[in-house]
């Protein structure tokens, strides 16, 4: 293996280890062990694109397979999210395991139709993964009366251990199966099925069931209407959904693009090891997020603006290298200089991903109502999946640099929306402060009224009514 990969991996490992060992007690808030997460995706993540190429499919055909996954997530995701709220998040999590196991089994077939079915099943499972598990955790956390601060730390630890440590080990294990043991590109999918089965056993044996609305049973249409009303009536929820769609859309497009970007001429690259390096970068970001989230004085809405700007700049590197570095026409061989520069930029982007997940989870726990959490979160995925499907459908029409430029632009737009969200959240907080301040002042005026003669008392009450005008409070809070 080339020295460059080892240097990047080793450097990141030293930085992450230093940050973890230097954490203060404030950064090490103990969390509940009730939420046992497991990540099977990272065994198969780096080999999806590679597996399809070994079956002889081109970039356009592979793009359509990816579209099937994102399209099914868009069409069925909202339904399964609503069913999770209605019939239970534990059942939905078990359904995720079963669905993804079936998706992994289809990877043994080189037939395009069978692979398409597998991608559809994978899209449904992905919607469950990104809604049911988090919804179960938030509901269980609140039901048991744990401190709210623990929730944000749990999110950061879940990203650090799940998206970080476990993902790194999974990437290295996948590289061992495919490279060292020469078991073929389908081996990681078989291993993922085993871990899924283990995770399903853990869920069935140790989790309790919880629901979106324990007081009444709602049909799907009612849940959809409630989720739509919540998004339309609260600008913070709408902004959060737009931000999530822009970032995740760029992230999933990056998942498709990083392999051809690093090996444009069929260079021999260690997919599993590079993926482990990406996950180590994500681990670095989540470690930084745990420090930020542990401090009540730092607002998540504030620092996420900078995160989106940095992520936008990192995905702009492939565009810049295409102009500044002469492209190589040599087929095969090892990674080129431009690829090395891009790999470093991709590591920065993955660090931003590690910061993004616990931070967006924290904001969702603050702004999204509990009774329709899974439904609203899957509503957010509709524009995300439409965006990714459009990009992948036109994957042959545009060069990779154009698609990276689009992703960079969307991430910069996310930073602008994040700035707007910060302003709206601050005004909302100020409104409530002003409301209670004037409420106390009005009580003081009312108390003094009873000490006045009748004429003065009438004027005093008029003054009280004026002070309680809603528009007056809003004007004072602007």
CA 298 vs. chain centroid, Å, equals 20
Element holding 313 (H helix, E strand):
helix 300-314
How would you write the pLDDT of the chain (478 residues) with one tens digit per residue? 478 888 998 999 899 888 877 766 555 444 333 333 344 454 455 678 788 888 988 888 888 898 888 888 777 766 776 778 788 889 999 999 999 999 999 999 999 999 999 999 998 888 888 778 888 888 888 888 887 777 777 776 776 676 667 777 887 888 888 877 778 889 989 999 999 999 999 999 999 988 876 544 556 677 677 777 888 888 888 899 899 989 988 998 898 888 888 887 777 788 888 888 998 898 899 889 888 888 878 888 889 999 999 999 999 999 998 888 766 666 656 677 888 899 999 999 999 998 998 899 888 888 888 767 767 877 777 777 787 888 888 877 888 899 999 999 999 999 999 999 998 887 765 555 555 455 555 555 545 554 545 444 455 545 444 444 444 444 444 4
Give Cα 30 to chain centroid, integer Å.
23
Whole-prediction pTM: 0.71
Rounded to whole angstroms, the maximal C-alpha distance in the chain is 97
Residue 124: half-sphere exposure toward Cβ, Cα within 13 Å: 22
Helices 89-106 and 187-206: crossing angle, nearest 10°?
160
């Amino acid at each position: 293996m080339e020295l460059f990969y080892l240097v990047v991996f080793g450097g990141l490992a030293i930085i992450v280890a230093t940050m973890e060992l230097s954490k203060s007690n404030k950064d090490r808030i103990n969390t509940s062990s009730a939420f046992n997460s497991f990540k099977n995706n990272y065994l198969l993540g780096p080999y999806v694109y590679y597996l399809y190429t070994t079956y002889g499919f081109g970039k356009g055909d592979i793009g359509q397979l990816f579209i099937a996954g994102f399209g099914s997530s868009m069409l069925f995701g909202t339904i399964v999210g609503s069913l999770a709220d209605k019939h239970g998040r534990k059942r939905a999590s078990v359904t995720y395991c079963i669905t993804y196991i079936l998706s992994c089994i289809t990877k043994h077939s080189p037939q395009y139709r069978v692979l398409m079915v597998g991608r559809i099943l994978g899209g449904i499972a992905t919607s469950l993964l990104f809604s049911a598990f988090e919804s179960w955790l938030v509901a269980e956390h609140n039901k048991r009366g744990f401190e709210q601060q623990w929730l944000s730390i749990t999110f950061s630890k879940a990203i650090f251990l799940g998206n970080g440590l476990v993902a790194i080990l999974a990437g290295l294990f996948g590289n061992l199966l495919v490279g060292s043991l020469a078991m073929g590109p389908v081996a990681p999918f078989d291993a993922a099925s085993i871990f899924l089965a283990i995770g399903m056993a853990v869920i069935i044996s140790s989790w309790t069931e919880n629901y979106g609305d324990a007081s009444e049973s709602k049909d799907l249409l009612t849940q959809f209407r409630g989720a739509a009303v919540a998004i339309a009536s609260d600008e913070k929820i709408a902004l959060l959904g737009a931000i999530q769609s822009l970032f995740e859309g760029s992230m999933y497009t990056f998942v498709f693009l990083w392999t051809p970007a690093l090996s444009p001429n069929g260079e021999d690259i260690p997919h599993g090891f590079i993926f482990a390096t990406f996950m180590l970068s994500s681990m670095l970001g989540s470690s930084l997020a745990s420090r930020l989230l542990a401090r009540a004085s730092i607002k998540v809405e504030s620092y996420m603006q900078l995160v989106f700007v940095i992520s936008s700049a990192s995905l702009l590197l492939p565009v810049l290298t295409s102009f500044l570095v002469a492209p190589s026409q040599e087929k095969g061989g090892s990674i080129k200089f431009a690829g090395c520069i891009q790999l470093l930029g991709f590591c920065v982007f993955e660090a931003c991903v590690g910061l993004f997940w616990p931070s967006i989870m924290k904001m969702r726990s603050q702004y999204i109502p509990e009774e329709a959490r899974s439904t609203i979160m899957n509503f957010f995925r509709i524009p995300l999946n439409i965006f990714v499907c459009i990009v992948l459908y036109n994957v042959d029409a545009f060069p990779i640099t154009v698609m990276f430029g689009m992703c960079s632009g969307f991430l910069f737009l996310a930073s602008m929306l994040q700035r707007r969200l910060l302003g709206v959240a601050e005004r909302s907080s100020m409104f409530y402060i002003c409301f209670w301040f004037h409420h106390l002042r009005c009580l003081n005026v009312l108390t003094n009224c009873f000490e006045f003669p009748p004429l003065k008392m009438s004027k005093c009450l008029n003054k009280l009514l004026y002070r309680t005008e809603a528009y007056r409070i809003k004007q004072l809070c602007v």
